[in-house]
Amino acid sequence: MDYRDRHVVITGGTGALGSAVVTALIEAGAVCHVPFIDAAEAARFGLRDHQRVKLVGNVELSDQAAVTSFYTDLPRLWASIHIAGGFAMSPVAETSKSELMKQVDMNFVSAFLCCAAAVRNMRQGAAGGRIVNVATRPALEWRIGAGMAAYTASKAAVAALTVALAQEVVGDGILVNAIAPATMDTPANRAAMPNADHATWTKVEDVAATILFLAAPENHAVRGAVVPVYGRG
């Protein structure tokens, strides 16, 4: 896949999956624009000094003004990949409205605002583009979202957004898709679930490869898909 001289946004690019995506994009020749809010995580980001990685701090992705300002300052984008989000375990009866809205803001609102800003940017050059969102397995298989309903519902909204937007912007040559990964093999997940069968978890490099295909110029046909990326789980 050839991303040479193509500008790509990766939200959540300093995290485990985001780092794998940025690494793969750099290898494919892309220029990567990575907004962040967590300065400590950005400081640990291994590609922060790469000449084709542009880190932009203090971008709150659930704030419309901040997102609009970030995208307005960018060159014409080829792709926008929305990995940033949050997770919380909580039964419905024990979840406050503020906790619910935090999940909605971190997962759905951030994806919605970034999608909107990306579409506006891509329409400037009439050259099409790609948008990839990140849902989750419970967003497709609701029953396994028991005990984390706020997270599940917010990610299900991301899946619905993806399919609706794909139809909305196909005439602009913008193909919109999402992935729905199962539990990924990350240091944080291993620490949280030390007794799980880690061998069945999806490798972040495999998830990143799926994202790269969906966002690639070589993808001429796939749109409106929420692709399960379950590995062996």
Pairing of the two strands 7-11 and 31-36: parallel
CATH number for region 7-182+205-228: 3.40.50.720
pLDDT of the chain along its 233 residues, tens only?
899 999 999 999 999 999 999 999 999 999 999 999 999 999 999 999 999 999 999 999 999 999 999 999 999 999 999 999 999 999 999 999 999 999 999 999 999 999 999 999 999 977 899 999 999 999 999 999 999 999 999 999 999 999 999 999 999 999 999 999 998 888 888 888 888 888 888 899 999 999 999 999 999 999 999 999 998 76
Is 229 within 8 Å of 206 (Cβ atoms)?
A: yes
* Residues ≥6 apart with Cβ < 8 Å to 187: 16
Q: What is the pTM of this model?
A: 0.96
pLDDT at 192: 84
pLDDT at 227: 98
* Residues ≥6 apart with Cβ < 8 Å to 11: 18, 34, 35, 61, 81, 82, 83, 84, 110, 114
pLDDT at 41: 93
String of DSSP letters for 2-35? --TT-EEEEETTTSHHHHHHHHHHHHTT-EEEEE
CA distances (Å), 147 to each of 133, 144, 188, in order? 23, 8, 19
* Residues ≥6 apart with Cβ < 8 Å to 220: none
Output 188-192 pairs: Cβ under 8 A, ≥24 positions apart.
Answer: 188/16
